[in-house]
Amino acid sequence: MLKIPIEILIIGICAISLVIVILSMYLVLKGTRDHIVSRKKKKYIQNKQDTWYRYFNDDIPLPSELIPNNNSEIKAVEEIFLAYVENISSPIIKKKIREFSNQYLRRYYLNLLLHRRWSLRMNALYRIVSFEIDSLVDECKKYAKRAKLSSEERFQLLIIQSMFDEDSFINEFGDLLLMLSEYEYKKLLVSFSVEILEKLTLQIDEFPEEYQYYFIDVLGIKRNFSFLTFLENNLSHDDTEIRIRSLKAINEMGMITDLDRYKVFLDSPVWEERLMLAKLLGAFPLEQVYPYLEELLQDENWWVRSQSARTIGNSKDGKSRLEMFIATAQDQYAIEMAQEVLVRGY
Amino acid sequence: MISEYSFEHSVTTKQIFDALKAHVMRSRTAITTVFLGLYGGSDTASAEMPDVGEITAFLTNQTRKSDFVFKISNDPIWFMVLAQSGEREAAAFLRRLFRMVRTEGIPALNNQKLLFSASVAEIGNDEGTFEELIAVGALALKKSLSKGPEQIEYIASFKKRPSEKVRVSILEENAIYRDVLHRTLDNLDLGHFELEIKEFQDGYEFLESKWYLSSHTHLILMNDILPRQSGLDVLHEIRRLPNNKRIIVFMMTKRSSEEDMIYAYESGVDSYFIKPFNLRLLEIEVKRTFERLYTC
């Protein structure tokens, strides 16, 4: 049996106890400090939220009592601002938050930007965007040049650049996007204003193929009619995928004006294009497009037949047209499809 | 056979008026009473007096099926109750009538052209009695006839709508934003509607409170996503209530998907706000919603 001298054992126990005591003291102190911060924060919110409401909604100068005196109060202001910017859209409130943050919160976020803890630096980057703290843009430019950047930091810095330095951002976008994952790229595009996206449509040909496709998908998500001309011009593109995705994006907008432009897809060798046409025809009165839909109802591809039966079925008087079709048509596949839509009801 | 029944009591003008007045409160739809007098009628010798029976028939013909026209005995004066009409509709009707009898005349009287004046009282509450209305209405008619033909005197004393308590529930997790919504609604001037506002941090707390089970008109302003029970859970729960039409639901969301919006409307929301949204938009939507509760 291993024999440990009693003195060593006692010293060991004392050392462990000491560590435990120091650790406990640290935890108690930290807990107390957090508690004090949170209490001060709560108190500030309770006492000042009414004044903040009046400052934001009335035409009054900034009451000096709102200026935070310490970090706890800054955290309280941060919470109040976040509640406003995330829930309320008002150019006036936005401007007041921007001016206040640039004047009274700049130093706090600058310190966070330089902090060694990643999560605090990220917080600062998020708040610069939320509160539009443009006085920290130069700091962010320096930050972007750091050798070690996480993908989250890089992404957030790109958003900051797109917000405050639009021209350089658009010029560099072709190179910048290569650093992004598909998810980040789409997220970034969705966050862009219509104006930025419009400018980017001029250089889309320089993007790698996949990035062109995502770009078109995002235009569909945005559902803004200013992109319609760009998307319609894509309908004669050599790349099939670009044509299909443009048709999809146009379908998302739910409105097409010039039917002749789309008729060519009736004879497309690509079934996805015929499918999209069957969907898009739903935007027109059935009377006007029924002959095309009837042709597509007898398509060789199941998806095309199914979509065109649904488009007819969803139109006014569509059900009776399908019944008429069943009574007179020869194509058994098409008849079954029409019957299916009638039974299902959509 | 029902046609063989004969009723013991015939209904009086006062009873009809009282029934319609009671309906004003339940349906939040004003009625308007009109005293219509023939201009120069009391100076006319009885031999020159046009056939008042024909005038009554003509006036009945000009009003809607839901309206009533009564001739006042001995005087060329008619009392009309225009159901589902406010003062403005009544005034428009009278101007049309004045023009018609002045230019085309009354067909059954060989197109004899006539001139009228009137007094108009919108009834917005059930406080005034029939007798008071008759007294004030007759006096106002006298005044309008003294001013000349085609005059209208308006009586404001019966118009005031009674103050109505409306419950408002705010269901939002973020305490600061909840407070902002509360203050915004509290500051709204909604005329005779008095808001009683309560805050809830989630759907569970709201449903447990049973605050929505009263017969008050109830506006619920809620987030779609809430801890414990979501806004959609609350929506489904309240739309199952038998008397749920009195509950107006405004849903707030961070999601801007049209599919979500369609689903929310199908499930019974009355208005849908995509965050972030302007508080002025919420204010005006609430105002318009309450204005619409009164149909005229």
CB-count exposure of residue A79 (10 Å: 0-12, 13-18, 19+): middle
Chain A CB contacts of B254 below 8 Å: 86
Chain A CB contacts of B279 below 8 Å: 57, 88, 90
Task: Give the model's pLDDT for residue B271.
Answer: 92
Least Cα distance to B86 among B190, B36, B10, B156 occurs for: B156
Q: How many CB atoms lie within 10 A of CB A24?
A: 10
Helix axes A240-253, A271-280, angle to 10 degrees: 10
Asked if B132 and B75 sit in the same domain, the reply is yes
**Owning domain of residue B198:** 164-293
Residue A80 inside a domain? The answer is no
A 44-103 residues with CB below 8 A of B? 45, 49-50, 53, 57, 79-80, 83-90
Least Cα distance to A337 among A305, A303, A293, A311 occurs for: A305
**Owning domain of residue A297:** 258-346
Quote the longest CA-to-CA distance of chain A: 104
SS3 B219: strand
Chain B CB contacts of A51 below 8 Å: none
Asked if B248 and B109 sit in the same domain, the reply is no
- A206, A216, A241, A247, B129 from A201: Cα distances, Å: 10, 9, 17, 16, 73
Asked if B110 and B202 sit in the same domain, the reply is no
Task: Give the model's pLDDT for residue A1.
Answer: 61
Whether B277 contacts chain A with CB within 8 A: yes
Asked if B174 and B289 sit in the same domain, the reply is yes
Confidence of residue B15 (pLDDT cuts 50, 70, 90): confident
> Is the predicted pLDDT of residue B221 greater than 90, yes or no?
yes
Confidence of residue B129 (pLDDT cuts 50, 70, 90): confident
Asked if B148 and B182 sit in the same domain, the reply is no
**CATH number, residue B181:** 3.40.50.2300
A309 near A340, Cβ under 8 Å? Answer: yes
Least Cα distance to B201 among B186, B222, B185 occurs for: B222
Whether B257 contacts chain A with CB within 8 A: no
Asked if B151 and B168 sit in the same domain, the reply is no
Taking an 8 Å cut-off on Cβ atoms, the answer to whether B276 and A85 are in contact is yes
Residue A281 inside a domain? The answer is yes
Residue A344 inside a domain? The answer is yes
Asked if B38 and B70 sit in the same domain, the reply is yes
Asked if B145 and B243 sit in the same domain, the reply is no
Taking an 8 Å cut-off on Cβ atoms, the answer to whether B276 and A83 are in contact is no
Helix axes A118-130, A71-87, angle to 10 degrees: 50
Chain A CB contacts of B278 below 8 Å: 88-90
Asked if B38 and B141 sit in the same domain, the reply is yes
Residue A124 inside a domain? The answer is no
Asked if B52 and B104 sit in the same domain, the reply is yes
Question: Of the ranges A133-137, A158-162, B125-129, B256-260, which one carries the lowest mean pLDDT score?
Answer: B256-260
What's the pTM? Answer: 0.73
Report chain B's terminal Cα–Cα distance, integer Å: 40
SS3 A81: helix
Asked if B24 and B144 sit in the same domain, the reply is yes
Interface predicted TM-score of the whole assembly (ipTM), two decimals = 0.71
Phi–psi pair at A192, nearest 5 degrees:
-75, 150
B117 near B37, Cβ under 8 Å? Answer: yes
Residue A105 inside a domain? The answer is no
Task: Give the model's pLDDT for residue B7.
Answer: 67
Count: domains in chain B: 2
B167 near B211, Cβ under 8 Å? Answer: yes
Count: domains in chain A: 1
Least Cα distance to B237 among B263, B200, B213, B207 occurs for: B207
Confidence of residue A126 (pLDDT cuts 50, 70, 90): very high
Task: Give the model's pLDDT for residue B284.
Answer: 94
In angstroms, the CA B211 to CA B84 distance is 32
Measured between CA atoms, the residue of chain A closest to residue B279 is A88
Asked if B242 and B144 sit in the same domain, the reply is no
Residue A110 C-beta-side C-alpha neighbours within 13 Å: 14
Residue A154 inside a domain? The answer is no
Residue A310 inside a domain? The answer is yes
Confidence of residue B3 (pLDDT cuts 50, 70, 90): low
